[in-house]
Amino acid sequence: MEKIKISISDILRLKGKRKITMLTAYDYPLASLVDKAGIDIILVGDSLANVVLGLDSTTKVGMFEMLHHSKSVTRAVKSALVVGDMPYDSYQVNTEESVANAQRFIKEAGCDAIKLEWFDKCLEVTEKITKAGIPVMGHIGLTPQTADKIGGFKVQGKDAQAAKRLIGQAEALEGLGCFAIVLECVPDKIAKLITEKLKIPAIGIGAGINCDGQVLVIHDLLGLFERYTPKFVKRYANISVEISRAIQNYRDEVMEGKFPGPQHSFTIKEEELKKLEE
């Protein structure tokens, strides 16, 4: 049966009806599996930098890498809404290029929407992008691209003043037309408060159970990224162990002359071989 593509209106309608599911994916094989599993939103996150490219900061990926990976995801996806994550340079450094860069995610990579993180000019940039007709997902709380400015990779909104700031940011982004907001590393009760105040969905990561939906980095969920694991991650599998076992078996069988077997080899007729020998 033909899969029906999830739209922004579908995501908006889900608020208060059922939880929204979101996962990252960065390539064709994993995006296909995530899509087939019925996940609502696939984020081509700039976490690509850490979990795929081996970089130590998300600020180190640019438009080239993000578009390259977004294209491989949209080629695979039939149903999920695909959100391209704007890399740091594309809107925080080059604010004047932000609309053109957002357009590239939609036109060149085939994404349905973009996501950007909170920063000092976030409202100005968000307004320009939404006014250009591009659906925007906001991202507040722990914003890895500006972690150095918010005291590091720490829970945000832990005192009344900081929590009030987060509520203000969420409401302002909703006011500018964002269709959803990611809340990262926020105390569960503050996330609940924000979720209840907003008409648009709040998607949590390290923000407790009361958000409208949840997002995780797929490599964390699968146990495919071993450098560090944040407290909010639940590992649903340990794929690294499986992969290591398969590679070891391959290595052993090649060295022992057991692979390839006849079933993996191609033959030539004896008469042809004879002709060659003559």
How deeply is 11 buried, as exposed, middle or buried, from its count of CB atoms within 10 A (0-12, 13-18, 19+)?
buried
Whole-number minimum distance, CB 139 to ligand KIV, in Å?
A: 6
Strand partners for 201: none
Least CB distance to ligand KIV at residue 48 (A): 7
Amino acid letter, 109: A
Nearest distance from C-beta of residue 117 to ligand KIV, angstroms = 7
Q: Taking CB positions, which residue lies at the least distance from ligand KIV? A: 45
Dump the DSSP string for 142-208. Answer: S-GGGGGGTTSS-----SHHHHHHHHHHHHHHHHTT-SEEEEES--HHHHHHHHHH-SS-EEEESS-
Catalytically annotated residue among 65, 117, 174, 184: 184
CB of 24 to ligand KIV, least distance (A): 5
| Angle subtended at Cα 213 by Cα 82 and Cα 126, rounded to the nearest 5 degrees | 55
Residue 59 DSSP code: G
HSE, CB side, 13 Å, CA atoms: give it for residue 264: 5
Give strand pairing partners of 29. none
Q: How far is the CB of 206 from ligand KIV (least distance, A)?
A: 9
The minimum distance between CB 46 and ligand KIV, in angstroms, equals 5
62, 149, 156, 179, 226 from 141: Cα distances, Å: 22, 12, 5, 17, 24
184 included as an active-site residue: yes
Selection from 174, 168, 175 nearest residue 201 by Cα: 174
- Residue 180 to residues 8, 120, 163, 263, 275, Cα–Cα distance (Å): 9, 19, 19, 52, 71
Task: Give the closest residue to 64 by CA, choosing from 101, 25, 117, 98.
Answer: 101
Q: Which residues make up the interface to ligand KIV (CB under 6 A)?
A: 24, 43, 45-47, 85, 139, 182, 205, 215, 217
Taking the CA atoms of residue 72, residue 74, residue 77 and residue 79 in that order, the dihedral angle to the nearest 10 degrees is 170
Q: Which residues participate in catalysis according to the annotation?
A: 184
